Chain A
Amino acid sequence: MSINLNQTGLRARLMLGAAAVALAFAGAANAETLRWARVGDALTLDPHSQNEGPTHTLNHHIYETLVGRSVDGTLTPRLATEWGISEEDDTIWEFKIREGVTFHDGTAMTAEDVVFSLDRARTPPSGMSALHAAVEEVTAVDDTTVHVRLSGPAPLYVQNLTNTFIMSKAWAEENGVETAPNFAAGEEAYSVRNTNGTGPYMLVERDPEVRTVLQVFDGHWGDAPAVTEIIYTPISEAATRVAALLSGEVDVVQDVPVQDIARLEQTDGIKVVRGPENRNIFFSYDMTSDKLATSDAEDNPFAKPEVREAMALSLDRNAIRQVVMRGESQPSAAPLPPFVNGWTEEMDAFGEPDYARAAELVAEAGYPNGFTVDLNCPNDRYLNDEAICQALVGMLARANIRVNLVSQTRSLHFPLIENWDTDFYMLGWGVPTFDSQYVFDFLVHTREGSYGSFNGTRYSNPELDAKIESIATMTDLDARDAVIAEIWEQVMEDRIFLNVHNQMLAYAMRDGITLDVHPENQPHMTTVTFD
C-alpha cells in the first residue's frame, strides 16, 4: 500500500515539475516575465511608512511619485506633468497633475488624492516626514493643480518628492489607513500587505520574504512596458543568489556579491553591468548619553573626542576595499557620496591607520585597559556589511576597543537606530535628493518632530539645527552652499560619522536583457528591454 502511495506521490511531483518546466519555457518564449532576485524584501508595501531603498524600489513599480529620477540623475515628469515655483508667491510650489490617471481599483486619480498623500507622508510616524518638514500646507487649487506652501522659499523642494508616493484617499479611508503605520513600533496595517497605486504593475501575490508577483496594469497612462509580469524573490544567501542566476532560476540579480563578479563576467550567457551608487557606508555611535548600555566603561567613551579620533585612526579603509570589497568600492572619509551637492574632494581624504597612536588616545581618554561595546550590524542590506563590521572589530581591537559584533537582518537592525536601542551601529545612506540637506535632516538635526529620525548618535547642536532649518528655504544658492559647507565643517570636526566608503553597484542578468545601473540602486523594470 505504502509503496503505491509513494509512487503516486512521485508521479504527481514529476508531473508538477514538468508543468513548471513547461511554464518556464513559455515565459522565456514570450520574454515577458522577469524573475528578479535581490538580497532582501521590501520592509513594507505601505507607501509612506518606511524611508528605505529596497522598500521604495519595489513600491516604485506599484505606486508612482509626482516626479521621477532617471538613471542620469535628472528629474522626469511622472504624476506631475509640470512643476515650478508660483509666480505670485515664492513660498509656493505649483504642480500640474496628469489627467486620465486611474488607480488599480479603477477609480480616477484627482488632485485631492495628491493632497491626501502629501499630508499623509508629512505626518509622523510616516518615515518620509523629514523630507517635508518645511511644508506648511498642501491644497488643491482645482482638479489638476496642487499648491504646496512652505515656511519660506525652497528652490530645491521638488527634489524631495522622488520617493513620495501618491495613494488613493478613498481607498485609505475605506481600509482605515489614513495615517502611515509606525514601522519602528512594528505596527501592522492593511496597507502593509495590500496596495492600490497608479503604477505600471499591480500586486497579484505577496508573501513577505518569499515571493511577490506583480502583473502589468492595463489601465496605466504610460507606454506598455516590455515586462508584463515580475516575480520578485528575496534570496539572502549570496551563493544561493548567484546559483539561482547560473541555473536560470532567475533572470536578474540586483545585489551581486563582489566576490562573484569576476566569475559571472566570465560565464557564457550572463552579463554584468556596473556603476557607482549614490550611497555611503559608515559607522556611527551614541556620543551623547551619560553611559552606554553595552559597555563596561563607567561613562560614555564615544562622548570623548579622543576616542572618536582613535576610531578614525584605526579604520583601514584601503584594506577593506582590497580584501572585503575586492576593489569594488570608493574608500572615503566624507560621509556623503560625490553625487551630492556639498561634497568636496578634501572631505574624502584620509590617512594611513596608526594603531599605536589610536591605543594611546584611548588610554589618554581615561581607558588604560580599553573598553567593551556592542556593534550592531545588518547582514542583508549593504554589500558585505557583516564582513566590513567584522573587519572593524579586528581593527578596533588593536586600539584596545573590544567590540562584540551583533549582526542581524535589517528589519531588526533599523528599528534599533530609530528607537535609540544601539550604542554603535552601521548605516548606509543614499541621498535621493542629491543634496546635503537630506543628510542633515535625517542624520544630524536633533531628533524632534519630523527631523532626525535616523539620528542614532543623539547628537544635538541647536546652532547647527538652526542652520539646517534655514537652508530649506534659502533662495540664494551660493549663500546656501556656503552654509552647507559650514555645517559639514562642524560635522567633520565633531566626527559624528566614521565613514568607510561609497558603494559600487553590479547587476547581473542573463544575456538578452538590458537594464542599466541606477545611481540610487532603484532599477525600474519598465525600462527593461529584451533583445
Chain B
Amino acid sequence: MNETQKPRAPGRFAGAWDSDIAYSFRHSPVAVVAAVVSLIIILAAVFAPLIAPYDPFNPASLNLMDGFTPPMEPNAFTGNVYWLGTDNQGRDVFSTILYGARISLFVGFAAVLFAMTLGITLGLIAGYRGGWVDSLLMRVADVQLTFPSILLALLIFGVARGFIPPAYREIMAIWVLIVAIGLSDWVQYARVVRGATMVEKNKEYVQAARVIGAHPVKILLRHILPNVMGPVLVIATIGLALAIIAEATLSFLGVGVPPTQPSLGTLIRIGQQYLFSGEWWILLFPSITLLALALAVNLLGDWLRDALNPRLR
C-alpha cells in the first residue's frame, strides 16, 4: 500500500493519518459521497453571506406581503419570485436555510468541542488516577446517562436562562444552547477515554516515562492522549450529527435560538404549522437539508469507525 503521496507525518497523530485511512476512503463510495455532501453544506453555510440572495436575519429587509410565496412562482401581491419560495414572514427559504445551517453547524461544532474537551479531561483523570476520583466521576457519568440527553439539555437551558438577566438572554441564547448540548454529551467521551487510558497507562512506554520522572500532566497529554484519540474522533463525528439534531430538536420545541434568527430546527417548527394548509415548501426544504447533513456526517462517522478498527481491515 504505497499510494501515499506525502511522506508519513512524523507528528503525534501519525496513527490517525495513516495511508490505510486514505486508501479506505478512496475505496468507499459511501464515504466519498457523504464527505462531498457534508463539505457542500458546510461551505454553503460558511459562505452564506456571499451566496444567499437575501439576508433573512435583517428584519428591515423583509416584506410581509412576500409571505407564503410558492417556489418558482410570482407572489400574488408583489410579483417577486423565489427559488424555494418564502416562509410566513416573507423570508426567502433558500437564504434562510443557508443562514440557518450556519447556526446549526456552529452550535453543533462548538457543542462537540465543548463536550470533547470536558469528556477527554475527565476521562484522562479518571483513567489515570483511578481510585475514588475514578469512582466519583464515573458514578456522576452513570447518573447522567440515566437521563435522556435532550431532557438534560432542556433542564440546563431552563436553569441557565434563569440566571441570565433579561437584557442579555437573546444574545446569550446561542451560547447557552452550546453549553446545554455539550454538558449533556460529555459522558461518552469520558467513558471511552477512561477505558483506553486504563489500558495505556500500564504499557511500557508510559511506565518508562514515569520512571524518568515526567510530570503526570505531561504523560497524559503527550503520551497517552495521542493514543486514545482514534476512538474519540469517531465519537466526535457521530456526536456532531447528534448535536446538530439536538439543536434542531430544541429549536423545534421553541427553546433554542430566537425566532427572528431561525436555525434549521426553527424553520421546521414554522413549516410544520402549515402542513395542512398546503404550504409544503416551508417544511420540506429545511427538512431535506437537515436530513442530508445529519445523514452525511453520520455515514462519515460510521466509515471512520470501520476504517480505524484493525479487526475489520
Contact = CB atoms under 8 A, between A and B. Distances in A.
Interface string A230-271: 000000011100110010000000000101101100000000
Contacts of A391: 64, 89
A323 B90 contact: yes
Nearest to B279: A259
Contacts of A323: 64-65, 67-68, 88, 90
Nearest to B269: A237
A390 B273 contact: no
Interface string B248-274: 000000100011100000000000111
A404 B59 contact: no
Most buried by A among B169, B260, B275: B260
B88 to A, nearest CB: 6
B2 interface: no
Contacts of A143: none
A398 interface: yes
A396 B59 CA distance: 8
A322 interface: yes
Contacts of B68: 323
A320 interface: yes
A319 B89 contact: no
B259 A386 contact: yes
Centre residue among B64, B67, B167, B260 by max chain A CB count within 10 A: B64
A328 B258 CA distance: 27
Contact of B260 (A262, A294, A405): A405
Contacts of B272: 237, 239
Interface string A150-190: 00000000000000000000000000000000000000000
Nearest to B273: A238
B58 A404 contact: no
B50 interface: no
B170 A374 contact: yes
Contacts of A474: none
A290 interface: no
A394 interface: yes
Interface residues of B, number: 29
Nearest to A320: B64
Contacts of B59: 393-394, 396-397, 402-403
A382 to B, nearest CB: 15
A407 interface: yes
Given A259-B274, A262-B277, A323-B65, A374 B166 contact: yes
Contact of B276 (A242, A393, A421): A242
B273 A259 contact: yes
By CB atoms of chain A within 10 A, which of B65, B170, B274, B277 has the most?
Answer: B277
Interface in A382-415: 386-387, 390-391, 393-398, 402-407
A390 B91 CA distance: 11
B15 to A, nearest CB: 39
A390 B170 contact: no
Contacts of A259: 273-274, 276-277, 279
A303 interface: no
Contacts of B274: 239, 259
B54 to A, nearest CB: 12
B300 to A, nearest CB: 33
Nearest to B260: A405
A397 B60 contact: yes
B32 interface: no
B310 interface: no
A254 B178 CA distance: 38
A394 B68 CA distance: 16
B62 interface: yes
A239 B275 contact: yes
A243 B258 CA distance: 27
Interface in B95-149: none
Contacts of B167: 293-294, 374
**Of listed A246, A322, A403, A404, residue having the most chain B CB within 10 A:** A404
B273 A404 contact: no
Among A320, A390, A407, residue most surrounded by chain B Cβ atoms (within 10 Å): A390
A365 interface: no
B260 A319 contact: no
B11 interface: no
A272 to B, nearest CB: 13
B259 A398 contact: no
A397 B58 contact: yes
B64 A394 contact: yes
Contacts of A393: 59, 260
Contacts of A405: 258-260
A393 B90 CA distance: 13
B64 A316 contact: yes
A268 to B, nearest CB: 15
B308 to A, nearest CB: 31
Contacts of A397: 58-60, 62
B168 to A, nearest CB: 9
B278 interface: yes
A324 interface: yes
Interface string B46-71: 00000000000011101111011000
A260 B166 contact: no
Contacts of A91: none
A187 B19 CA distance: 67
B31 to A, nearest CB: 34
B100 to A, nearest CB: 15
B163 interface: no
A407 B259 CA distance: 8
Contact of B170 (A237, A394, A406): A406
Contact of B77 (A260, A322, A396): A322
Interface in A298-336: 316, 319-320, 322-324
Nearest to B171: A404
Contacts of B63: 394
A323 to B, nearest CB: 4
Given A316-B64, A319-B65, A404 B275 contact: no
A238 B60 CA distance: 28
Contact of A394 (B62, B273, B275, B279): B62
A270 to B, nearest CB: 12
Contacts of A294: 166-167
Nearest to A292: B167
Contacts of B89: 387, 390-391, 394
Interface string A9-40: 00000000000000000000000000000000
B73 to A, nearest CB: 16
Nearest to B272: A239
Given A243-B276, A403-B59, A395 B64 contact: yes
Contacts of A403: 59
Contact of B166 (A242, A293, A379): A293
B65 A322 contact: yes
Looking at A294, A323, A391, A402, which has the most chain B CB atoms within 10 Å of its CB? A323
Nearest to A377: B259
Contact of B169 (A237, A246, A406, A421): A406
Contacts of A387: 88-89
Instruction: State the 9 A-B residue pairs at the shortest beta-carbon distance, nearest first.
Output: A397-B60, A397-B59, A259-B277, A323-B67, A394-B62, A394-B59, A319-B64, A404-B170, A238-B273
Given A259-B277, A320-B64, A397-B58, 5 more contacts: A259-B274, A260-B276, A393-B260, A406-B166, A406-B170
12 contacts: A238-B273, A239-B274, A259-B274, A259-B276, A293-B167, A386-B259, A387-B88, A394-B62, A396-B59, A397-B58, A397-B62, A405-B258
